[in-house]
Amino acid sequence: MCRRLLPPLVVLFLLATACGGEATPGSAGSPGAVDATGGGDLQTVAAVYPLAWVAGQIAPDAEVNLLNEGGQEAHDLDISPPQRAAIETADVVLYMGDIDYQPQVEDAIPAAPGEVVSAAEVAGDDALLAASADAHAHEDEGEAHTDDEADAHADEEADAHDGEESEGHADEGTDDHADEEGGVDPHLWFDPAILAEVAVAAGEAFAAADPDNAEAYQQNAAAVSEQLTGLGDDLDDLLGGDCAFDEAIVSHAAYAYLLQPYGKTQHAVTNVSAEGDASAGELAEIVGEIREEGFTHVLAEPVEGREGAEAVANEAGVELLEISPLDAVTEEQAAAGLPDLVRAQAEAFATALGCA
């Protein structure tokens, strides 16, 4: 299948170039991770960096066009007319799914004539976590996935959110922001098992779009899946042991998929949708919790919730650790590749949680 070239504005980068060549073992361009294909004419659109990484690994000769170009904020992404045209002419489109995460992207998907991969649909309802602003609603359950009971309480908890939450915490295992997020936390790339399934589905999509190279795409997808399985083992080593704490203070509630499999929670300054920074009273509560629990670190992203995170870290006299939600990355980060980036976030959390 071959379609016309996209307008230059939407061609951000050929991800395979950034991730190939002299990468170290286990990184995005590891020797043996991908094979060359003949799919150089394939046009691919990816809604966020982790999906662009997957596409670049499976189809290294295709043009991978990232919608949140230049590290643009991924939540509620505003797409331009050329980007909408890119979706409408692409051979393969990878997006997070109809979860009210990127409404303009989701609205454009029905016009896509090529193969479409929905990460949320691939993951399935049982694997998806629900968005929440309350870190303690399920803190005793330690579950990796949401359950039917949590979903049943979505509307009730959403009504109680505005100024009435007794804890004021932010964790993605419950449903306070069901209306804002469609009930779903989109940051599923922090779960290697889910992303491995997405990679396999993407391999099938590329195979359908370019049957002459189907076997290469499928082999590449299998290699990516194996690589992500190895990443999962690394996360087990980092976060699955004995830890001093079971909660981390974060600037943005984006890390439930990373933490919940290990019975850990997050107390965030700003919620899953990167809106609604904590009030002065809530920040004071976080400072009090840091002092009471003996936390030694606060984890902060470059933008989301940064000011509040810095304020509580300074007030409590603890160290600030840098983290990233990885929906958008710098060129330097892209060169490292998603597995190494996820591993780096886990290392930061392991430090903050005092994991052995």
Prediction pTM value: 0.78
3-26 per-position pLDDT tens digit = 323 333 233 333 333 333 333 223
- Is the model's pLDDT at 263 over the cut of 70? yes
pLDDT tens string 94-110: 999 999 999 999 999 99
pLDDT given at position 148: 41
- Name the helix (H) or strand (E) containing 103: helix 103-108
Q: Which of 73, 72, 71, 68 is nearest to 95 (CA)?
A: 68
Residue 180, pLDDT > 70, answer: no
Helix (H, G, I), strand (E, B), or coil: what is residue 250?
strand
The candidate with the shortest Cα–Cα distance to 238, out of 24, 230, 49, is 230
Residue 183 scores a pLDDT above 80: yes
Write out the residue limits of the CATH 3.40.50.1980 domain(s) in the chain: 8-124+187-235, 148-186+242-353
Residue 221 pLDDT exceeds 60: yes
Please check whether residue 30 is in contact with residue 23, taking contact to mean a CB–CB distance below 8 angstroms: yes
Task: Using alpha carbons, list the distances in angstroms from residue 258 to 15, 24, 120, 194.
Answer: 25, 24, 16, 11
pLDDT at site 272: 72
User: What pLDDT is recorded for position 275?
Assistant: 67
Residue 306 makes CB contacts below 8 A (sequence gap 6+) with 251, 300
Q: Determine the CATH number of domain 148-186+242-353.
A: 3.40.50.1980
pLDDT tens, residue by residue, 26-62: 333 333 344 556 566 899 999 999 999 999 999 999 9
Higher pLDDT among residues 178 and 115, named by residue: 115
pLDDT tens sequence across 273-321: 666 677 889 999 999 999 999 999 999 999 889 999 999 999 999 999 9
Residues with Cβ within 8 Å of residue 296, at least 6 apart in sequence: 318, 319, 352, 354
pLDDT (0 to 100) of residue 268 = 92
- Res. 269: pLDDT tops 50: yes
Say how many CA atoms lie within 13 Å of 161 toward its Cβ.
23
Report the C-alpha dihedral over residues 225, 226, 227, 231, rounded to 10 degrees: 100
Quick check: 89 and 110 in contact, CB under 8 A? no
Q: Copy the structure tokens of residue 316.
A: 């409590």
Instruction: Tally Cβ neighbours within 10 Å of residue 347.
Output: 17
The letter for the amino acid at 248 is: A
Contacts of 310 (CB under 8 A, 6+ apart): 300, 320
pLDDT of residue 70: 73
3-class SS at 50? helix
Residue 306, pLDDT score: 93
Q: What is the pLDDT of residues 140-170, one digit of tens each?
A: 333 333 344 334 333 433 343 333 333 333 3
Q: What is the pLDDT of residues 115-146, one digit of tens each?
A: 999 999 999 999 999 886 443 333 333 333 33
Question: What is the distance in angstroms between the CA of the first residue and the CA of the last residue of the chain?
Answer: 51
Per-residue confidence (pLDDT) for residue 153, from 0 to 100: 36
pLDDT for position 278: 78
Q: Architecture of 8-124+187-235 per CATH?
A: 3-Layer(aba) Sandwich (3.40)
Pick 232 or 182 by higher pLDDT. Answer: 232
pLDDT value, residue 236: 98
**For the chain, how many helices (H) and strands (E)?**
16, 8
State residue 286's pLDDT score: 95
| Rounded Cα gap, residues 220 and 228, in angstroms | 12
